Structure formats: C-alpha cells, structure tokens
Amino acid sequence: MPSYKLTYFNGRGRGELSRMVFAAAEKKFEDKRIEFSDWPALKAEMPQGTMPVLEVDGKRKISQSVAIARYLAREFNMYGKGNAEMAIVDQIVDTCLDVFTPFVKIAFNPDKEEKAKQMEEFYSSTLPKLLGFLENLVKETGKSGFAVGSSLTLGDLALYTYIENCGAGGKLEKFPLLAANRKKVEELPRIKTYLKNRPVTEF
C-alpha cells in the first residue's frame, strides 16, 4: 500500500474531506498538522503556497484540497459506479463548494458589522437555497440513505464535511434526506470511530 502524508493546519477546514475519505476507507495516513506560527517557514515548500498538500510515497506534492479528495476517492473506490454516478458525485461536491466558498469569505471579513449582515444573509438565503438543490438531488439519486447509488461515496463525505464546516449540521430540519444522510454517515463504524477520536478544533 502506498504511504500517504496529508499536511494541513490543525483544523478541519479544507483538509477534512480528505481525512474523512481516509477514515471511511480505513487507510493509514500521516495526518501532519501545522501550527499557524510554523506556516510562514513552510509556505515556500508547497507547490501553490497553500495547504492542504498530499504526498504519496514521498514522491511529489499534490495541491488543491478537492483534487486531493477526488484522487483519494478514486483510489479507494468511493467515486460512484460508472460515469453517470461520478457526474452526480461531482455535482454534489461542487454544490458543497458553492456553499463553503462564500462562507469562508464571510468568516474572514474583518469588518464585524458587515460580517454579521453577510452571515445573516448566508443562513437565511444562500445556504437554504443550495441545501434545497442538494436535498432534491439526493432524493433523485440516492438509495438506502446514501446520496448517490447504494454505497458510500465522496458525495456523502462532502455533504457531511462542508455542512459541518458551515455550522449547519444542526440546521437541517427542512431537509430531511440530508439530515438522514448525515446520521447515516456519522453512524458508519469507521466514521464513528474517526469522529470520536479526531482532535477537537475551532474551524
């Protein structure tokens, strides 16, 4: 089996989806967590000056969080069965990013007043609209509680991770299929163990 090293900050953020893929596949990896104070010295070593970064067998560094998660999901057969399911997995992942990207931008807004207004708009409009798309998609494509087909894919893990990252894990009353999918994912034995043991972090 190849050796894997994932380097990211000590937070969930953009690194967590790949960690969840490793956990779901029960694959060992080095979970290298960098303190903010150590980052400036390390930045120049990263291909795009950002994290996360994945190294496979110490050969080369792969940047871009979602490229990494997609690579791992393909390696571990969690990308759906056939091209049609893969397209749905991609549709879910990309919609999750449509949720997460504006959330991160707002979260880092230094203007407190503006940030509060933007967050209110995010939770009352952006988030429910996109969750509605995802609920409909899961209704159409999922079976047995999974988001795509009848087995765990990157789609389920993306839903779990990005919804959590946006602080929306407990805001799914209007989206029963997403809520049920979330419960299903967190009760899978490997994921349950991972969630119980992972470091508790602020972001």
* Strand bridging mode 30-34 / 4-9: parallel
| Smallest distance, ligand GSH to C-beta of residue 125, A | 24
| Smallest distance, ligand GSH to C-beta of residue 188, A | 25
**Residue (of 142, 193, 138) closest to 20 by Cα position:** 193
Tokens 């798309």 — which residue? 133
Question: Quick one: residue 31, left, alpha or beta (phi over 0 = left, psi -120 to 50 = alpha)?
Answer: beta
Q: Which stretch binds ligand GSH (CB under 6 A): 50-58, 82-90, 122-130, 139-147?
A: 50-58
Q: Which of 4, 7, 12, 14 binds ligand GSH (CB under 6 A)?
A: 14
Q: Which of 43, 81, 105, 129 binds ligand GSH (CB under 6 A)?
A: 43
CB nearer to ligand GSH: pick between 91 and 151 = 91
Q: Does 65 bind ligand GSH (CB under 6 A)?
A: yes
Helices (H), 44-153: 65-75, 82-107, 112-121, 127-141
Q: Does 64 bind ligand GSH (CB under 6 A)?
A: yes
CB nearer to ligand GSH: pick between 14 and 184 = 14
Number of residues that bind ligand GSH (CB under 6 A): 10
Type of residue numbered 22: F
**Residue (of 198, 116, 129, 127) closest to 168 by Cα position:** 127
| Smallest distance, ligand GSH to C-beta of residue 174, A | 29
Here the tokens at position 170 are: 């407990």
Here the tokens at position 121 are: 């708009």
Q: Which of 50, 77, 124, 136 binds ligand GSH (CB under 6 A)?
A: 50
Determine the Cα angle at 60 with ends 57 and 65, to 5°.
Answer: 100
Q: Does 201 bind ligand GSH (CB under 6 A)?
A: no
* Contact set with ligand GSH (CB under 6 A): 13-14, 43, 49-52, 64-66
